[in-house]
Amino acid sequence: MARVEVQNVQRAFGDHKAVDDVSITFEDGGFYALLGPSGSGKTTLLRMIAGFEFPDSGSIRIDGAAVETVPANKRRIGMVFQNYALFPHMSVAANVAFGLEVSGQKGKDVRRAVSEVLDLVQLGDFGKRRPHQLSGGQRQRVALARAIVTKPRVLLLDEPLSALDKALRTTMQGELKRIQREVGVTTIFVTHDQDEALSIADQIGILKDGRIVQSGAPEEIYDRPNSEFAATFLGDANILDGTVVEGRLRLDNGAVVALPLDSTQTSGRMRCAIRPERVRLAVRNAGGRAEPGATVVWGTVRRRLFSGSFSRYAVDCGGSELQAIAQRGATRDLAIGTEVELSWDRRDLIALS
Amino acid sequence: MAVTGMTRTNGLKKALPLLLPAYGWLTLAIFLPLSAMVYFSLLTTMSSTTPSLTLANYAAFFSDPLYAVLLLRSVKLALLVMMICVVIGFPAAYVLAKIFKGRAREAIFLIVILPFWSNSLVRVFSWSMVLREGGILDVVLNAILPFKVSVDLMYSYPAVVIGLVHSYLPYMVLTCYLSLQAIDDALIDAARSLGASRTTILRRVIAPLALPGVLAGSALIFIPVIGSFMEPRILGGRGGTLYGTVIEDQFTAVYNWPLGAALSFILLAVVLAILLAAAPVLRKAA
Ligand SMILES: Nc1ncnc2c1ncn2[C@@H]1O[C@H](COP(=O)(O)OP(=O)(O)OP(=O)(O)O)[C@@H](O)[C@H]1O
Ligand SMILES: [Mg+2]
């Protein structure tokens, strides 16, 4: 169990900076997700922590000790690979035992540890099988068992669930979370699936073009994204552009709305975001009045996307389109062409830099 | 991948037209000449117009211990050449498959398979220029070393070994390369992250996974080297008398085709026996 500090780490391939001045700290026992689009440097960062790749500059410390020059096999870091990378010529038990045997453990100790960890990943009866006789989810568990049986200081997972189908993925997310809590190892999980990151991790770091755009707790990043990229990459967001005039925000479509609560800006251009589920929809002139402090924008329903328990509306507001999500229990379904008023609490409006 | 019986038979039916030319060619090029050789090996003589059938040619092998001695010598030579090819070829293939990338890999690959492109006779004769006294090796060594050495490897057993290794090394490099290439780099990374040193990875991950390639290469080398005659004759001189050269003599010098054919079949039997004996090991590796 350990704390990992990445400081000003850079790594370039040719003149392309795969990881560009990244600083992030992974606290002891935390479950971190690194999230970012393809090519954003997630794997490269992970491989540098693992020791397969070395930074051009910057430092990586594990429990305070610099490890940049320590080879991968001396770092005591467990890794789960996207394609599992199980040794095809060894049985499941032999795969799991490999790391223990390499570190010099023998016989009974190895067998006990192997059967314990196989029980932990619920594969107690599969020790004798070969990897090719397992399903994708089972291979995934073996890979995890093999990585944690050596009691690594840090567990790294590079898109470990991306090869699984949706249902299995959800199950495995729960499993992973349970096992991580049980073992308590500092875990860094790379994914480009935002839902996965949100549901599984205690902390999320968002990468873009080799840089950390934002990091923090899932709720924090979701509710307070600091950039348009963070707002739209993690979840959906309506982006509103406008000008600050007399303490209010005049949107480019003409509507005037209240400034975000935490905004201190007094003039000039401003870009804000509002989550679709924070936008309330009502039929215009339905009689109900907007709450005081709420902002109202008028528009016309253009499209409706039905998703079972909720509907997603695209509303045309004077040329710009806003998305709104309505729970179907709370609101009547609105027909296309309905004149609506959109409102939101100004606390939910997010100022973007 | 599970293949159901259904698709397998279907596949066979579809593949038949594709396989026919190959089988036709094999019949023509191997089965017919081989049948002719069986017939020859049972003849008393080639010259007589009414030859009679006999087993005397096979008996000759057992009546003169020289044949067995030479055969044993050829087997030892083949084992030696094979092992040298493993020792040189495997690391070369490893570097090629796992360390070099892109352009460098292509360039070195070319160098490795270049011997395939040159006429084997030219190759062997060029070795004679290198190995003889006053040859290239002699001159170069004397230019580098401060003391005088006289290098004359020509017409010796080592010369035969060198020539054969040079001729057959590409097979080993290619088969090893193919099996090493197929090993996912992530396996090596996984082993490293589990704490394995480079030698442990080589021993426990790479070697077992590359074994089929090593064995295939070994078989590809062992079989022709046992019967080789050109390199031994040109580079070996008197030291190059081997089972293969004796067979060749029967066909080209003595014109005793029946004996040559019989000796060939005995060689074939021995090779098959050796492969059969090695089969359990081979099956386990595959
Ligand atoms: N060995 C390499 N040689 C050259 N360029 C590389 C190498 N590894 C990565 N890159 C480049 O570095 C950048 C970051 O790659 P990386 O694999 O870290 O992305 P990623 O975030 O893991 O993407 P993905 O989600 O697709 O896996 C990419 O532009 C990639 O092309
Ligand atoms: Mg990646």
Third-level CATH fold of A236-352: OB fold (Dihydrolipoamide Acetyltransferase, E2P) (2.40.50)
B interface mutation test: which of A98, A114, A139, A156 has the most B CBs within 10 A?
Answer: A98
Q: Write out chain A residues lying below 8 Å of B194, CB-based.
A: 73, 78, 98-99, 102, 146-147, 150
Q: How far apart are CA B200 and CA B206, in angstroms?
A: 9
Q: Measure CB to CB from residue B186 to each of A51, A72, A85 and give the nearest one.
A: A85
User: pLDDT band at residue A6, thresholds of 50, 70 and 90?
Assistant: very high
Q: What is the mean pLDDT of residues A150-173?
A: 90
Mutate to test the pocket of ligand 1, among A40, A44, A48 (most ligand atoms within 8 A of CB): A44
- Centre of ligand 1 to C-alpha B214, Å, is 34
For residue B4, tell me if it sits in a domain: no
Is pLDDT above 80 for B204? Answer: yes
Q: How far apart are CA A51 and CA A72, in angstroms?
A: 4
Q: What percent of chain B has pLDDT over 70?
A: 95
To the nearest whole Å, the CA of A291 is away from the closest chain B CA by 58
Q: How far apart are CA A100 and CA A78, in angstroms?
A: 12
Q: How far apart are CA A286 and CA A338, in angstroms?
A: 12
Q: Measure CB to CB from residue B208 to each of A52, A89, A99 and give the nearest one.
A: A89
Integer angstrom CA distances of residue B275 from B32, B74, B84: 24, 16, 19
In the prediction, which pLDDT does A71 show? Answer: 93
Do residues B97 and B194 both lie within one domain?
yes
Do residues B39 and B68 both lie within one domain?
no
In the prediction, which pLDDT does A221 show? Answer: 92
In the prediction, which pLDDT does A8 show? Answer: 96
- Centre of ligand 2 to C-alpha A3, Å, is 23
Question: Strand order of the sheet with strand A280-283?
Answer: A280-283, A339-345, A294-306, A310-317, A320-327
Q: What percent of chain B has pLDDT over 90?
A: 47
User: Which residue's CA is the closest to the ligand 1 atom numbered 4?
Assistant: A13
Q: What is the mean pLDDT of residues A225-251?
A: 90
Integer angstrom CA distances of residue A21 from A46, A58, B21, B157: 14, 8, 62, 63
For residue B263, tell me if it sits in a domain: yes
Q: What residues form DSSP beta bridges with A329?
A: none
Q: How far apart are CA A128 and CA A124, in angstroms?
A: 10
Does the Cβ of A95 fall within 6 Å of ligand 1? no
Is pLDDT above 60 for A104? Answer: yes
Integer angstrom CA distances of residue B120 from A207, B40, B123, B235: 58, 28, 5, 13
Q: Write out chain B residues lying below 8 Å of A76, CB-based.
A: 195
Give the residue numbers spanning the domain of B25: 14-54
For residue B36, tell me if it sits in a domain: yes
Q: Which of A182, A171, A225 is nearest to A35 (CA)?
A: A225
Answer whether B194 sits within 8 Å of A52, measured CB to CB: no
Structure token digits, residue A332: 């009547």
Q: Measure CB to CB from residue B189 to each of A52, A99, A150 and give the nearest one.
A: A52
C-beta of residue A230 within 8 angstroms of C-beta of residue A62: no
Answer whether B195 sits within 8 Å of A73, measured CB to CB: yes
Do residues B166 and B204 both lie within one domain?
yes
Q: Write out chain A residues lying below 8 Å of B192, CB-based.
A: 51-52, 71-73
Do residues B31 and B70 both lie within one domain?
no
Structure token digits, residue A19: 């990881």
C-beta of residue A318 within 8 angstroms of C-beta of residue A263: no
Q: Which range has the worst mean pLDDT, A197-211, A286-300, B12-26? A: A286-300
| Interval B207-226: pLDDT, tens | 999 999 999 999 999 999 99
User: Which residue's CA is the closest to the ligand 1 atom numbered 7?
Assistant: A13
The count of C-alpha atoms lying within 13 angstroms of the C-alpha of A154, restricted to the half-sphere facing its C-beta, is 29
Q: What is the mean pLDDT of residues B197-215?
A: 94
In the prediction, which pLDDT does A130 show? Answer: 95
C-beta of residue A303 within 8 angstroms of C-beta of residue A313: yes
Angle, nearest 10°, between helix axes B102-117 and B157-181? 140
Do residues B193 and B239 both lie within one domain?
yes
Q: How far apart are CA B158 and CA A39, in angstroms?
A: 55
Is pLDDT above 80 for B239? Answer: no
* B21 exposure class (CB count in 10 Å sphere: 0-12, 13-18, 19+): exposed
To the nearest whole Å, the CA of B184 is away from the closest chain A CA by 8
Does the Cβ of A208 fall within 6 Å of ligand 1? no
Does the Cβ of A44 fall within 6 Å of ligand 1? yes
Q: How far apart are CA A311 and CA A281, in angstroms?
A: 11
Angle, nearest 10°, between helix axes B120-131 and B136-144? 40
A150 vs A332: which has the higher pLDDT: A150
Longest dimension (CA), chain B: 76
Do residues B27 and B159 both lie within one domain?
no
* A91 exposure class (CB count in 10 Å sphere: 0-12, 13-18, 19+): middle
In the prediction, which pLDDT does A292 show? Answer: 55
Here the CATH number for the domain that contains residue B74 is: 1.10.3720.10
In chain A, domain spans:
4-232, 236-352
Beta strands A4-13 and A57-62, pairing class: antiparallel
Specify whether domain A4-232 bears CATH 3.40.50.300: yes
Q: Write out chain A residues lying below 8 Å of B207, CB-based.
A: none
To the nearest whole Å, the CA of B87 is away from the closest chain A CA by 23
User: pLDDT band at residue A203, thresholds of 50, 70 and 90?
Assistant: very high
Do residues B80 and B181 both lie within one domain?
yes
Q: Which of A82, A61, A80, A87 is nearest to A121 (CA)?
A: A80
Ligand found nearest the CA of A45: 1
Q: Which range has the worst mean pLDDT, A180-184, A218-222, A252-256, B273-277? A: A252-256
| Interval A52-87: pLDDT, tens | 999 999 999 999 999 988 999 999 999 999 889 999
Question: Strand order of the sheet with strand A4-13?
Answer: A16-26, A4-13, A57-62, A65-66
In the prediction, which pLDDT does A245 show? Answer: 87
In three-state secondary structure terms, B178 is helix
B interface mutation test: which of A48, A49, A81 has the most B CBs within 10 A?
Answer: A81
- Centre of ligand 2 to C-alpha A93, Å, is 28
B interface mutation test: which of A47, A52, A188 has the most B CBs within 10 A?
Answer: A52
For residue B1, tell me if it sits in a domain: no
C-beta of residue A25 within 8 angstroms of C-beta of residue A6: yes
Do residues B110 and B201 both lie within one domain?
yes
In three-state secondary structure terms, A296 is strand
C-beta of residue A9 within 8 angstroms of C-beta of residue A23: yes
| Interval B245-257: pLDDT, tens | 999 999 998 888 8
In the prediction, which pLDDT does B8 show? Answer: 60
Is pLDDT above 90 for A208? Answer: yes
Q: What residues form DSSP beta bridges with A283?
A: A340
For residue B2, tell me if it sits in a domain: no
For residue B59, tell me if it sits in a domain: no
C-beta of residue B134 within 8 angstroms of C-beta of residue B148: no
Q: How far apart are CA A205 and CA A184, in angstroms?
A: 20
| Interval B167-194: pLDDT, tens | 899 999 999 999 999 999 999 999 999 9
Structure token digits, residue B58: 């096979």
Is pLDDT above 90 for A116? Answer: yes
To the nearest whole Å, the CA of B198 is away from the closest chain A CA by 9
Q: How far is CA B112 from the centre of its chain?
A: 16
Do residues B32 and B73 both lie within one domain?
no
Asked if A4-232 and A236-352 have one fold, the answer is: no
Does the Cβ of A43 fall within 6 Å of ligand 1? yes
B interface mutation test: which of A43, A62, A79 has the most B CBs within 10 A?
Answer: A79
In the prediction, which pLDDT does B2 show? Answer: 46
Asked if B195 reaches chain A (Cβ–Cβ under 8 Å), the answer is yes
* A42 exposure class (CB count in 10 Å sphere: 0-12, 13-18, 19+): buried
Answer whether A98 sits within 8 Å of B196, measured CB to CB: yes
Q: How far apart are CA B20 and CA A159, in angstroms?
A: 47
Answer whether A72 sits within 8 Å of B189, measured CB to CB: yes
In the prediction, which pLDDT does A271 show? Answer: 92
Q: Write out chain A residues lying below 8 Å of B197, CB-based.
A: 73, 102
Q: What percent of chain A has pLDDT over 70?
A: 97
Partner A, chain B 173-192, Cβ-Cβ below 8 Å: 184, 186-187, 189-192
For residue B260, tell me if it sits in a domain: yes
Backbone angles phi, psi at A37, to 5 degrees: -70, 170
In the prediction, which pLDDT does A288 show? Answer: 54
Mutate to test the pocket of ligand 1, among A11, A40, A193 (most ligand atoms within 8 A of CB): A40
B225-228 — which CB contacts under 8 Å span 24+ positions?
Answer: B225/B74, B225/B77, B225/B78, B225/B81, B225/B82, B225/B164, B225/B168, B226/B74, B226/B75, B226/B77, B226/B78, B226/B267, B226/B270, B226/B271, B227/B74, B227/B264, B227/B267, B228/B74, B228/B164
In the prediction, which pLDDT does B97 show? Answer: 92
Return the ligand 1 atom nearest residue A47 CA.
Answer: 18
**Domain tally for chain B?**
2
C-beta of residue A99 within 8 angstroms of C-beta of residue B194: yes
User: pLDDT band at residue B279, thresholds of 50, 70 and 90?
Assistant: confident
Do residues B141 and B235 both lie within one domain?
yes
Q: What is the mean pLDDT of residues A125-132?
A: 94
Mean pLDDT of all residues belonging to chain A: 90
For residue B132, tell me if it sits in a domain: yes
Q: Write out chain B residues lying below 8 Å of A72, CB-based.
A: 189, 192-193
Q: Which of A276, A344, A349 is nearest to A307 (CA)?
A: A276
- The phi-psi region of residue A160 (left if phi > 0; otherwise alpha if psi is between -120 and 50; otherwise beta) is alpha
Is pLDDT above 50 for B1? Answer: no
Question: Strand order of the sheet with strand A211-216?
Answer: A77-80, A154-158, A186-191, A31-35, A203-208, A211-216
Contacts of A67 (CB under 8 A, 6+ apart): A51, A60, A61, A75
Do residues B118 and B221 both lie within one domain?
yes
Do residues B91 and B33 both lie within one domain?
no
C-beta of residue B225 within 8 angstroms of C-beta of residue B86: no
Asked if B203 reaches chain A (Cβ–Cβ under 8 Å), the answer is no
- Centre of ligand 1 to C-alpha A205, Å, is 17
Q: Which of B135, B131, B154 is nearest to B143 (CA)?
A: B135
Integer angstrom CA distances of residue B265 from A237, B32, B75, B227, B251: 81, 15, 15, 11, 14
Is pLDDT above 70 for B48? Answer: no
